[in-house]
Amino acid sequence: MKLNTYEWGTGSRVAVLIHGLMSDHRTWRRVAPAVADRGYRVIGVDLRGHGASGRGCYSAESWASDLVETLRSGPELAIGHSLGGMALALAAGRLRPKRAIYYEPAWASHDEEGTDPSVVTCFKTATRERIVSLAPRWEEADVDVELATLASWDPETTYALFSVDRVDRTPSRPEVPSLVLTGGLSSLVPLKTQQALLDCGFDVRTVDGAGHTMHRDDFDGFMTALDGWV
């Protein structure tokens, strides 16, 4: 499936931004211009089931294949957040970015019982007050974006991620030079996994005190953590 894309900047190098579950390209409203200012043409995608992209047949492989079908191979940089980090890892061997950043990647669930999809799908109708209570560090514009992206999101995507496709996809090695970025005590990339990733060739960095959406919780900390990679 060809995905909807949005571009920032006109630089000679290409950077790809891949959002997480419930989101779309609009989540990068601060990150994309900052990356463009460093000389990139930035391409933000809407994954299948999100934003203005198509719906249906959700699976880990379909999200990865859509990236390969939509984007030219060999971008200078690719950043994938959460679901986007899972899709990027599965696509990296075909997409061949020069550098990859896996930001709080949803490679595996580390709780024995897993996540009940209904816990996530209920966010489809989240109110502004609910979002603010869960993300008190976000700017008002980020709350506006969250409400807009939730309205465009198909909650059926959740079932592919948390039930049908609930397997461990943690890479055994980096396909390309790769950074894994976590938000402190990450439930997606726990300390044991971080050490294993370091041992097999990944760089791993942590933004202490930031949450799963650190680009909105602590924008400056997020950008600082990318030094040398962007």
How far apart are the C-alpha atoms of 224 and 226, rounded to whole Å? 5
How far apart are the C-alpha atoms of 227 and 203, rounded to whole Å? 12
What are 34-92's pLDDT values in tens digits?
999 999 999 999 999 999 999 989 999 999 999 999 999 999 999 999 999 999 999 99
pTM above 0.75, yes or no: yes
* Assigned token pair, 144: 């506006």
What are 117-158's pLDDT values in tens digits?
888 999 999 999 999 999 999 999 999 999 999 999 999 999
Choose which CATH entry (3.40.50.2300, 3.40.50.1820, 3.40.630.30, 3.20.20.70) describes domain 5-225: 3.40.50.1820
How far apart are the C-alpha atoms of 198 and 214, rounded to whole Å? 21
Say whether 191 sits in a helix, a strand or coil. Answer: helix
DSSP state of 107: S
How far apart are the C-alpha atoms of 70 and 6, rounded to whole Å? 12
Radius of gyration of the chain (CA): 16
> In the chain, where are the structural domains located?
5-225
